[in-house]
């Protein structure tokens, strides 16, 4: 498993992946409601958990937890909202001691490319509801040599 600092560098490198498309149709926050729920699965060679609250007040909020060998690796606080007329997914990473990876006023931003009934594609990050109880997340990571790697998270709907 990569160290939190290595993962931070990879996540930040995602910002360098250009968005190929703009938002053609005007989406609404309710288009992301398919994410609502508790999701448990695998990714980064460990256990991944993600939880999304229902859309409200023009936003959706989620949390993510990554662990391996019964040890917390990192967490994220996530928001989907409209910024300057376009939807974005913004997140902040935290170490197990709750210290942030990004500076106080910084965060990682993924701009929306497209959203449909069961799929949301942001620049470098996509969510797809495969079945009502299976969610697939793909995260494109730029490696130090410039190559691109896709990390796949396979989630199953869980309960609180």
For residue range 10-56, what is the model confidence (pLDDT) as tens digits? 454 444 444 434 444 689 999 999 999 999 999 999 999 999 999 99
Would you state the pLDDT for residue 23? 41
- Which range marks the domain in which residue 17 is found? 4-158
Residue 87: closest CA among 57, 62, 108, 114: 114
Give, as one character, the DSSP assignment of residue 160.
Answer: -
**Higher-confidence position of 112 and 20:** 112
Per-residue pLDDT reduced to its tens digit, 44-89: 999 999 999 999 999 999 999 999 999 999 999 999 999 999 999 9
pLDDT of 98 > 70? The answer is yes
Distances (CA, A) of 96 to 11, 41, 71: 17, 19, 9
Total number of domains in the chain: 1
- What is the predicted pLDDT for the residue at 160? 82
Using the predicted structure, report yes or no on whether residue 7 has a pLDDT greater than 90.
no
Task: List CB contacts of 112: < 8 A, sequence separation 6 or more.
Answer: 23, 27, 86, 87, 88, 89, 120, 121, 122
**What are the two backbone dihedrals, phi and then psi, of residue 12, each rounded to the nearest 5 degrees?**
-65, -35
Single pTM value for the model: 0.83
pLDDT at position 24 is 47
Q: How far apart are CA 3 and CA 9, in angstroms?
A: 10
For residue 53, what pLDDT is reported?
98
Q: Residue 19: what pLDDT?
A: 40
Instruction: Count H helices and E strands in the chain, helices first.
Output: 1, 10
CB-side exposure of 123: number of CA atoms within 13 Å? 22
Predicted confidence at residue 15, as pLDDT, reads: 42
Report the share of the chain in percent with pLDDT over 90.
78
Helix or strand (DSSP H, E) at 123: none
User: What's 63's domain CATH number?
Assistant: 2.40.128.20
């Amino acid at each position: 498993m990569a160290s939190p600092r290595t993962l931070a560098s990879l996540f930040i490198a995602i910002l360098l992946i250009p968005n190929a498309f703009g938002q053609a149709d005007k989406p609404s926050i309710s288009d992301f409601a398919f994410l609502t729920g508790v999701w448990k699965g695998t990714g980064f060679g460990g256990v991944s958990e993600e939880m999304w609250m229902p859309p409200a007040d023009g936003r959706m909020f989620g949390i993510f937890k990554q662990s391996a060998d019964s040890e917390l690796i990192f967490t994220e606080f996530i928001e989907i909202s409209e910024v300057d007329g376009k939807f974005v997914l913004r997140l902040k990473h935290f170490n197990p001691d709750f210290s942030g990876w990004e500076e106080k006023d910084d965060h990682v931003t993924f701009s929306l490319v497209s959203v449909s009934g069961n799929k949301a594609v942001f620049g470098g990050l996509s969510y797809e509801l495969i079945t009502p109880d299976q969610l697939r997340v793909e995260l494109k990571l730029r490696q130090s040599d410039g190559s691109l790697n896709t990390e796949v998270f396979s989630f199953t709907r869980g309960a609180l």
